[in-house]
Structure formats: C-alpha cells, structure tokens
Amino acid sequence: MSEKEPREYELDGRPIVCSHCQKSRFLKGAALLNTSTMTFLGLDWANRSAITLMCSRCGLIQWFAEPPVAKET
C-alpha cells in the first residue's frame, strides 16, 4: 500500500484534524524511538515505534503512540 497519497485518519472514533490549519488529510509515517528517548519522555510503557501523521497542507507533524485508523475513501 502506498503512503504517498494523503488520507484521512481517525483515532478512538474521532477524526484527526490538523491542530494548526484544521485540514484532515495526512501522510502517515513511522518513527523509531530508542529506549533512552522513550525513558526521557516517560513513554517506556509503549513499544519503540510511534506513528507520525504529517499534515498534507502545512506540514505539521503529530505523533501517536496508538496507530490511527485510515478512513476508507
């Protein structure tokens, strides 16, 4: 599956909207976090990867420990 096309996502039944420009289309990415970073952030209960969604309009990146669900379009 290509991640080149911006898509709409939701998490916990709520649509994800860019907190800066209010757009709802994002490019999905993943970031691997090393253990020291996770400990520093107090997130060592989570696994070592996080999902990032980059706003296709303004480029703001939001981080998610839970994977957001892509909406069917």
Binding interface with Zn ion (CB under 5 A): 18, 20-21, 23, 55, 57-58, 60
In angstroms, give the least distance from the CB of 42 to Zn ion. 27
Give CA–CA dist 52/21, Å, rounded: 17
For Zn ion, the closer of residues 60 and 65 by Cβ is 60
Give CA–CA dist 50/24, Å, rounded: 19
For Zn ion, the closer of residues 43 and 60 by Cβ is 60
In angstroms, give the least distance from the CB of 46 to Zn ion. 25
In angstroms, give the least distance from the CB of 38 to Zn ion. 26
Burial code (b: 16+ CB inside 10 Å, e: under 16) for 39-63 equals: eeeeeeeeeeebbebbbbeeeeebe
